[in-house]
Amino acid sequence: MKTKNKKFKVPAYVSRDIGVMVEDFKGTLDLVMEQTAEIPKIKKSMEVMHEDIEAVKIDIEFIRGDVEVIKTDIEQIKHDLKSKIDRSEFAVLERRVALLESRR
């Protein structure tokens, strides 16, 4: 059996279509490569944001502790104020004591 090498001719319109497809593929590949090049930058930004979030969490815990102390202090102040009299009541008591002392 003999095999003959035949040259296959590609019509011009097919060659043109393949060229367009190759150019489109190259453009798409370039775009994917550009986006892939941005991944390390995005990853670094995300790491920085993660560190910032962790710092904020720690700060919130300190603030939470401070707020608890403030709440306790306010409760103590409220309790102390309830056991004291206001100025008008003090004035009345002052007059009564002055009357009692003058009667002696």
Q: How many domains does the chain have?
A: 1
**70: in domain:** yes
pLDDT attached to residue 20: 79
**1: in domain:** no
pLDDT attached to residue 34: 82
pLDDT attached to residue 9: 67
pLDDT attached to residue 12: 67
**4: in domain:** no
pLDDT attached to residue 23: 83
Tell me the residue type at 53. I
**7: in domain:** no
**91: in domain:** yes
Measured between alpha carbons, how far apart are the two ends of the chain, in Å? 149
**94: in domain:** yes
Residue 41's alpha-carbon distances to 22, 32, 35, 48, 52, in angstroms, are 30, 15, 10, 11, 17
**42: in domain:** yes
pLDDT attached to residue 68: 96
Q: How far is the C-alpha of 8 from the C-alpha of 43, rounded, in Å?
A: 51
Cα 16 vs. chain centroid, distance in angstroms? 53
pLDDT attached to residue 74: 95
Domain hosting 37: range is: 12-103
Q: How far is the C-alpha of 61 from the C-alpha of 81, rounded, in Å?
A: 30
Q: % helix / strand / coil in the chain, to the nearest 5? A: 85, 0, 15
Q: How far is the C-alpha of 91 from the C-alpha of 70, rounded, in Å?
A: 32
**47: in domain:** yes
Question: Tens place of pLDDT for every residue, the chain, 104 residues?
Answer: 455 556 666 566 667 777 778 888 888 888 888 888 888 888 899 999 999 999 999 999 999 999 999 999 999 998 888 878 888 888 999 999 999 988 87
